[in-house]
Amino acid sequence: MNQDPQEDAISAGHLVYHKIGGLIRRYRKEKGLKLLDLSGVTGIKSAMLSKIENGRMLPTIPTLFTIIRKLGIRPDTFFSELSAESSFPGYLLLRANSYSSYEKEEGATGFEYQSILENNFAGGAFQISLLTLRPGSQRQAVTTAAYEFVYVLNGDLQYQLEDKIFDLQEGDSLFFDGNIAHVPINHLNGTIRLLVMYFFGELST
């Protein structure tokens, strides 16, 4: 039995994964639906839908297709907005003006994300983002269904992992399981820039 072409695209990793959540959120709002409304028609818990919309979790193929169908969106329309180049020439030159801004958490203040690069690997996917924390930035602690690597490009901050708080300075890095509730805290009056890498998949042991 032949697989759906859109499912082939997902499996082959030819989609821009970080846009999935934002697209779902946009279509949901265009339909005038709240998260609880979408949860009711899809049977998917609102907490999971929120993680998917915020890019904290990649939906499984059946889950994604359920959401699309219940939103009344044609799959070809949805996936056309996620298409990415499928070939790799052996190198990538990424200009600063090519980074794409995206929203990760609704209601967060002073958190500015730019996607630098993302791709898939055997058993998962990765995304590299630039995060700018403005003075007075605020956000609740969140969890992510991924491993995260954070590198401080400039500035001093505190990084909270559940009940632990780490003081980080320029050049410091932190690697952790995103399933631990976490939040970066800009406790000083300055702008902080972080390089954040998300690894969606299992680590080899």
- The pLDDT tens digits of the residues spanning 106-156 come to 778 999 999 898 776 666 778 899 999 999 999 999 999 889 999 999 999
> What's residue 18's pLDDT?
65
pLDDT at 101 over 90: no
Residues 6+ apart with CB under 8 A from 144: 51, 56, 57, 178, 179, 182, 198
> What's residue 112's pLDDT?
95
Residues 6+ apart with CB under 8 A from 195: 128, 129, 130, 131, 150, 151, 153
β-pairing, 147-154 vs 192-200, is antiparallel
- For 69, other C-beta atoms within 10 Å of its C-beta total 13
Mean pLDDT for the stretch of residues 149-165: 97
Higher pLDDT, 16 or 72: 72
Map out the domains of the chain with their CATH numbers: 5-80 (1.10.260.40), 96-200 (2.60.120.10)
The string of pLDDT tens digits covering residues 172-201 is 999 999 999 999 999 998 999 999 999 987
- For 79, other C-beta atoms within 10 Å of its C-beta total 21
- For 137, other C-beta atoms within 10 Å of its C-beta total 20
Mean pLDDT for the stretch of residues 103-108: 79
> What's residue 205's pLDDT?
53
Whether residue 115 contacts residue 127, with contact meaning beta carbons closer than 8 Å, is answered with yes
